[in-house]
């Protein structure tokens, strides 16, 4: 993410690659992540943290 001094924003559509899905399911075997009708994999429900540099913020996927 490129950022300039001041307020910056970025869009993230909460999708992941198939390799990312496999890695997440290997880390947490209770997860079952299926491919959506549009062919993408989405993060399962839960609370996640985004960290950029030294700053972090949490968000929830419902």
Q: What is the pLDDT of residue 30?
A: 94
Domains contained in the chain, number? 1
pLDDT along the chain (62 residues), means of 10: 82 92 95 96 94 91 92
Enumerate the β-bridge partners of residue 58: 49
Q: What is the pLDDT of residue 48?
A: 93
Establish if 1 belongs to a structural domain: no
Can you give the residue range of the structural domain that contains 56? 15-61
Sign of CA dihedral 35, 38, 42, 45: negative
Establish if 2 belongs to a structural domain: no
Q: What is the pLDDT of residue 7?
A: 87
Establish if 7 belongs to a structural domain: no
Q: Please give the C-alpha separations between residue 20 and each of 3, 38, 53, 55, 62, in angstroms, as whole numbers.
A: 25, 17, 22, 23, 19
Q: What is the pLDDT of residue 9?
A: 84
Burial annotation 6-31 (CB, 10 A radius, 16+ → b, else e)? eeeeeeeeeebeeeebeeeeeeeeee
Q: What is the pLDDT of residue 10?
A: 82
């Amino acid at each position: 993410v490129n950022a300039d001094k001041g307020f910056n924003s970025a869009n993230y559509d909460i999708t992941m690659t198939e390799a990312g899905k496999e890695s997440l399911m290997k880390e947490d075997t209770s997860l079952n992540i299926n491919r959506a009708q549009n062919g993408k994999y989405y993060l399962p429900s839960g609370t996640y943290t985004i960290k950029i540099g030294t700053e972090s913020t949490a968000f929830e996927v419902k």
